[in-house]
């Protein structure tokens, strides 16, 4: 059986992260996780954070987002994956490992970039490269859509899965300013199938022109969209609520709503 190609070049990703100097999106993820933890009516005593930037989590134990996580099986009551899943070569495998690291009824939260992230840049780079070179090469990480991620939580064995998202727009002088900022975030191109020779400057100049023409506001600044998806789920436990068997309801919905019940005709032709 042929092994599928890897998505991420891990050594390059590690080098990009080591050079990162602008971590405002990672800091936003930390703040979002803290806000959501404050809403959970539970005290967590054995947390663990999977992150590429451990210094942003000084009060919690951390591990790197390696292919095999260095996490104790059923050793934690809280596991947070902080902006790492979008780089995972096997995101379902990462989710399964996080679930196994949880004690029964432990809570999992993942923050990751979603499919709307950098859609403006992706469109402009693709059009520019096609115009200038007649082809396309991988430049921006493909990211999952929120409608697919709830199913991944279920596949990984989580109970009560929830997926939601929010978007942030950051405005830049031009596309070159945006791309410099992406490198400073540690989110530069670390795709395993990326082009390994220098890209013609004409591609980036044309992409910047398209970006300006298509998306610039009245002030001349261009927007860059970042969609952050938040996944939550629980390690299964007998105390958790479970769906009832179909047909086992003892009360009609119309009675609960205090509304008149309108029965459908039996004749399917009607």
- Which CATH number does the domain housing residue 42 bear? 3.40.50.150
What's the pLDDT band for 267 if we cut at 50, 70, 90?
low
Using CB atoms within 10 Å of the CB of residue 101, give its burial: 0 to 12 exposed, 13 to 18 middle, 19+ buried.
buried
Kindly state whether residue 200 falls inside one of the protein's structural domains: yes
In a domain, 171, yes or no: yes
Two structure tokens written together for 121: 């840049």
Model pLDDT for residues 36-87, shown as the tens digit of each residue: 999 998 899 999 999 999 999 999 999 999 999 999 999 999 999 999 999 9
Residue 95 lies in a domain: yes
When divided into structural domains, the chain yields a total of 1
In tens, the pLDDT along 1-31 reads 456 678 888 999 999 999 999 999 999 999 9
Q: Tell me which of 167-176, 210-219, 243-252 is least confident.
A: 243-252
Q: What is the tens place of the pLDDT at every residue in 155-173?
A: 999 999 999 999 999 999 9
Does residue 261 lie in a domain region? Answer: no
Q: What's the pLDDT at 1?
A: 47
pLDDT in tens, 124-156: 999 999 999 988 887 777 788 888 888 889 899
- On whether residue 180 sits in a domain, the answer given is yes
Residue 205, both tokens: 């100049």
pTM: 0.84
With a pLDDT cut of 70, the percent of the chain lying above it is 91
Instruction: Write the CB contacts of 163 (distance below 8 Å, at least 6 apart in sequence).
Output: 146, 149, 150, 153, 229, 230, 231, 232
17 contacts 54 by C-beta, under 8 angstroms: no
The pLDDT score that the predictor gives to residue 6 is 82
Question: Is 74 part of any domain?
Answer: yes
Structure tokens at 210: 């398209």
Place of tokens 């039996």: 266
The overall average pLDDT reported for the chain is 89
Report yes or no on 66 lying in a domain: yes
Domain that holds residue 134: 10-238
Of 98-112, 146-160, 178-192, 250-264, the range with the lowest mean pLDDT is: 250-264
Contact 109, 35 (CB under 8 A): no
Residue 261: predicted pLDDT = 74
d(CA 67, CA 9): 12
Q: Say how far apart CA 52 and CA 68 lie, in whole Å.
A: 14
State how far the Cα of 77 lies from the Cα of 98, in Å rounded to an integer.
11
For residue 152, what pLDDT is reported?
87
- Is 143 among the domain residues? yes
pLDDT attached to residue 246: 61
Say whether pLDDT at 270 is over 70: no
Nearest to 81 by CA among 58, 105, 101, 104: 101
Total Cβ atoms within 10 A of residue 35: 9
């Amino acid at each position: 059986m042929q092994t599928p190609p890897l998505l991420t070049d891990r050594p390059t990703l590690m080098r990009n992260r080591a050079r990162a100097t602008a971590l405002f999106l990672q800091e936003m993820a930390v703040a979002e996780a803290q806000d959501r933890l404050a809403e959970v009516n539970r005290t967590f005593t054995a947390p663990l954070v999977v992150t590429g930037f451990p210094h942003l989590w000084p009060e919690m134990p951390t591990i790197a987002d390696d292919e095999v996580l260095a996490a104790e099986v059923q050793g934690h009551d809280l596991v947070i994956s902080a902006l790492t899943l979008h780089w995972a070569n096997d995101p379902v495998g990462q989710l399964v490992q996080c679930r196994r690291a949880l004690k029964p009824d432990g809570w999992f939260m993942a923050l990751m970039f979603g499919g709307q992230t950098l859609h403006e840049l992706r469109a402009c780079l693709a059009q520019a490269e096609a115009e200038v070179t007649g082809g396309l090469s991988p430049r921006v990480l493909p990211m999952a859509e929120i409608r697919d991620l709830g199913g991944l939580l279920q596949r990984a064995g989580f109970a009560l899965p929830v997926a939601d998202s929010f978007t942030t727009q950051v405005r830049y002088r031009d596309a070159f300013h945006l791309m410099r900022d992406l490198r400073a975030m540690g989110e530069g191109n670390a795709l395993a199938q990326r082009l390994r020779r220098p890209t013609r400057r004409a591609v980036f100049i044309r992409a910047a022109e398209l970006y300006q023409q298509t998306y610039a506001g009245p002030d001349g600044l261009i927007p860059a969209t970042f969609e952050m998806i938040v996944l939550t789920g629980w390690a299964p436990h007998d105390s958790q609520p479970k769906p009832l068997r179909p047909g086992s309801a003892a009360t009609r919905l119309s009675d609960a709503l205090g509304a008149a019940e309108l029965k459908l005709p039996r004749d399917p032709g009607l």
